[in-house]
Structure 1
Amino acid sequence: MTLDEKYRDELLLALRLHEISGERVGEVLAEVEAHVRETGEDPEEAFGKPREYAAQVAEQLDSRTGKPSTLATVASALATAALVMFGSDFALDALFGDADVVAYTLKDTVSLISLLVLFVAGMMLLFKAYTARAGNKAYGIAAIGAFALGILAQFAAGQLVDDVTPLYQLPSWLAFVLGAAALTGAVLLLVRAARRGRVVYPKAG
């Protein structure tokens, strides 16, 4: 008997959302496939639902056995999001601005940073809502709250923070160079994450 493709795909997704390394994901999938092939047993009866089994696997791992620490995961997500947000902001302002100098007010900075922090928090809570073994609804509600606060923060910043006096200014060419460099850094981080998450089956033998 071969492993049901739907079960395999759901298990693969669940393992990825736990930030488990591609090598360990390959080992888990190979173990499940081998068990089903040898015994003919239904995978859900043998291992449980994909999300539950992925959570069980993740609990047994640490940074030495295929799972980064929570701090490392949050730092990587925050760094990638920051590079994308600031990079696109700098590059677009430089390309489409009318002046030779790009000016940023306190409101611009507060809005961007608050959006960044709350967006990353919301995404992390969404992942937690999917991967947690308990309290999923609470994490989901908290994620929605974080996204809502991110939107409200933009309106609040427009009303409460100075949007006239430049906090700092950059020549357009420098803003574009910094933006392009930041976006390049974000791409490199994403490529690194994709390589780490690439499923690698154990070698036979």
Structure 2
Amino acid sequence: MKIDTHTPHVEPDWAEAFLLELRLRGVGGRAIGAALAEVEAHCDESGESAREAFGEPVAYAVELAPERAAIRDWRAELLPSGVGLSGMLLTLAALGALRVGTRVEVTTGVVAVVVLTVVGVALVVSCADRLLRAVVRHWWVAALGALAPIGVFVAILLLGRQPLFTLSASGSLAAGVVLLAASTAMALRVTGLNDPVVGPEEAGGAGTVADDAMMRGLERLTPWLLPLLTVVMALPLLLL
């Protein structure tokens, strides 16, 4: 994933690493933009590279922000996914049970998926810094991170069909819809807290991270992704 910081005289890999480290240290978007604009102005005037003038990007970011100003609460961003996944599984199971007139069976596979989701969220939270660096440097890390769990969960659900207990189909459907709504509300709240990286007005755009229509569209779609997936997966149950 390439990040355009509008700093043509700064090495792109240096600017990306510098920006990411400041982000991880809780520095605000406008402060990051000002720091990038300052580096760009110096490199433009002196002819030096950013690495020659300021050293390694991570070390310079640590020098500017020696202590993490505001540790980002990754749980606030990952919790909606866990709640939404639980709501999706419960809703789909309830629709299947209502279609054939039975109760919802909670199987070993469903319990295993819920447990793995909790463990996975905990691991992502504990390794958030390293994961973010990997995603920025290698886009395929994000793709694998999104697709691999789906395949694993489907396999577990297919293999773990031993019933443990049953639930009311109508009650399960109501609970599933409530969980999906709650996850969407939490995700929308997190999306609304975005802090874009913007350089000073006098810098002529330097330090402002480029934003495009595709990224804005994906950002708007993300909170609604699990409800939309639930609807798509539920259509065969409702129509067949």
- Aligned ranges 1:26-65 → 2 under 5 Å: 26-62=33-69
Match of 1:23 among 30, 37, 49: 30
Answer whether contact 1:20 1:58 (CA < 8 A) is retained: yes
Where does residue 93 of structure 1 map in the other structure? 93
Where does residue 182 of structure 2 map in the other structure? 182
Where does residue 3 of structure 1 map in the other structure? 10
Q: Cα deviations across residues 64-90 of structure 1 (Å, max 9, x unaligned)?
A: xxx335xxx143134233233223323
**Counterparts in 2 of 1:7 and 1:96: CA distance versus 1, 3 Å:** farther
- C-alpha distance in 1, partners of 2:26/2:102? 42
- Aligned ranges 1:111-150 → 2 under 5 Å: 111-129=112-130
Q: Cα deviations across residues 162-193 of structure 1 (Å, max 9, x unaligned)?
A: 83312x44516514532440342243044135
Quote the RMSD (CA, aligned, Å): 4.0
Answer whether contact 1:91 1:178 (CA < 8 A) is retained: no
Q: Secondary structure at the match of 1:2?
A: coil
Deviation at 1:43, TM superposition (A): 0.7
- Aligned ranges 1:101-112 → 2 under 5 Å: 103=104, 105=106, 107=108, 110-112=111-113
- C-alpha distance in 1, partners of 2:82/2:185? 10
- C-alpha distance in 2, partners of 1:131/1:179? 27
**Counterparts in 2 of 1:173 and 1:68: CA distance versus 1, 3 Å:** same
Where does residue 200 of structure 2 map in the other structure? 202
Deviation at 1:32, TM superposition (A): 1.8
Deviation at 1:120, TM superposition (A): 1.8
**Counterparts in 2 of 1:13 and 1:35: CA distance versus 1, 3 Å:** same
- C-alpha distance in 2, partners of 1:57/1:170? 56
Structure 2 unaligned segments of length 5 or more: list them.
Answer: 1-7, 134-147, 204-240
Where does residue 135 of structure 1 map in the other structure? none
Deviation at 1:33, TM superposition (A): 1.6
Higher mean alpha-carbon deviation, 28-37 vs 120-129, is at 120-129
* AA of the residue aligned to 1:199: V
**Counterparts in 2 of 1:130 and 1:191: CA distance versus 1, 3 Å:** closer
Structure 1 unaligned segments of length 5 or more: list them.
Answer: 133-146
* AA of the residue aligned to 1:177: V
* AA of the residue aligned to 1:48: G
**Counterparts in 2 of 1:100 and 1:187: CA distance versus 1, 3 Å:** farther
Match of 1:68 among 60, 68, 71: 71
Answer whether contact 2:87 2:177 (CA < 8 A) is retained: no
- C-alpha distance in 1, partners of 2:112/2:127? 22
Answer whether contact 1:51 1:131 (CA < 8 A) is retained: no
Answer whether contact 1:90 1:178 (CA < 8 A) is retained: no
The alignment-based identity, stated in percent, is 26
**Counterparts in 2 of 1:87 and 1:176: CA distance versus 1, 3 Å:** closer
Count of residue pairs the alignment pairs up: 175
**Counterparts in 2 of 1:169 and 1:57: CA distance versus 1, 3 Å:** farther
- C-alpha distance in 2, partners of 1:17/1:6? 17
